[in-house]
Every structure is written in C-alpha cells, then in structure tokens.
Structure 1
Amino acid sequence: MMKTEEIIIANLKCNGCASTIKKELMLLEGISNVAVDVEKNAVNVTYENIDRSNITQKLYSLGYPEATEKNGLLLQLKSYGSCMIGKVNNF
C-alpha cells in the first residue's frame, strides 16, 4: 500500500541540499515521489514496499539525520558536502 510521510530532518540549508536529497532518495526502489520543503526542514516521501528505516538511513548517510537523532559535527560536514554537490548538479 502506498504511503506518504513527512520526515523532519536536520542540516537542510538550501535548494542544493534539496536537490541532492530528492535525487538520492528517488534511486531507492519503492519510492515514487520526493518533495523537499527547505523552510520546514521536511522531506515528504511517497513510498511502497520499502521500510521507513531504509529511507531515514539513506538521509542519515547523506548527512541529513531525522531531527530526533543526535546531530553531530561529522553529519554537519557530510551535509555541507551533499549541499555543494546539489548546487553543482543544479547548474
């Protein structure tokens, strides 16, 4: 059954971040739509046949942990890298 869920994340700074998040999450099998709201620090994901933890783990690996998790310096640095990649890919 298709589900849509809003996941609040840390380290979301700009549309470069949003671009990276959308591109990377869409690579996961079972995800049909990703919308990122930079103002709300939210990722809205529509998915089916994939566990929510797979989605949050992918976000975590990109440097955007769920806002309930500890947000350490390493993850902040990872998110800056993902942010820059997203900005470069947008041009």
Structure 2
Amino acid sequence: MESTLKIQNLKCGGCANTIVTQLSKLIGVSMVTVNNDTDEVHFNYNSETELKTVKKRLSELGYPMIGEANPLPKKAKSFVSCAIGRLNKK
C-alpha cells in the first residue's frame, strides 16, 4: 500500500534526510520520499500497523501530522532532527 502524509515543521533537506533515513529503517516500510515544497512524506507500507508506526515515528522526530498538536518541544525536536540530517547528508 502507499500513503502520503502532510507533516509540520519540515524545513529543509536536512529534515528530509533524517525522515528518509529513520523511516527506511522501519520493517515493512519502503520507498520513502519527502517533498519539502508540499510538506509531504510518501512511502509504501505493508499493513495498518506500519502506517501507525510511521506516524508515531514522525511525531517522535518532531514532525507531527497536519492537524495534530505541535507544541514547542515537538518543534525543538524537529530542529535537532534537522541538524542531524544536515550532518549526515551525503
């Protein structure tokens, strides 16, 4: 199955790199792409369990879904994820 999720706090290629790296590590999740222009994450998954896992992981990284709470700690996490993504960018 395929899904595209609209997320918050997506700022740059560093953010995108972190998201792709972290979601690609999840079992049952593949073909992860991030569109910075539309704030969207697109991926393939095997079951609803993986979809829930992806949403949870994105939120943990500081990128909650559009419409979800986005308190200051989540925004701060996204800046950390962004910095890590920039450092690990190839």
**In which range does the TM-score fall when normalised by the shorter chain?**
over 0.9
Q: Distance in 1 between matches of 2:89 and 2:3?
A: 25
| Alignment of structure 1 residues 11-30 onto 2, 5 Å | 11-30=9-28
Q: How many angstroms does 1:50 deviate by?
A: 5.2
Q: Distance in 2 between matches of 1:65 and 1:21?
A: 12
Task: Establish whether residue 83 from structure 1 lines up as the match of residue 90 from structure 2.
Answer: no
Q: Which residue of 2 aligns with 1:53?
A: 52
Segments of structure 2 that go 5 or more residues without pairing to the other structure are none
Q: Distance in 2 between matches of 1:80 and 1:10?
A: 12
Segments of structure 1 that go 5 or more residues without pairing to the other structure are none
TM-score (norm 1): 0.93
RMSD: 1.0
Question: What amino acid maps onto 2:62 in structure 1?
Answer: G
User: Percent identity, aligned pairs only?
Assistant: 37
| Residues paired across the two proteins, number | 89
Q: Which segments of structure 1 move beyond 4 Å, counting only runs of 4 or more?
A: none
Q: How many angstroms does 1:68 deviate by?
A: 1.4
TM-score (norm 2): 0.94
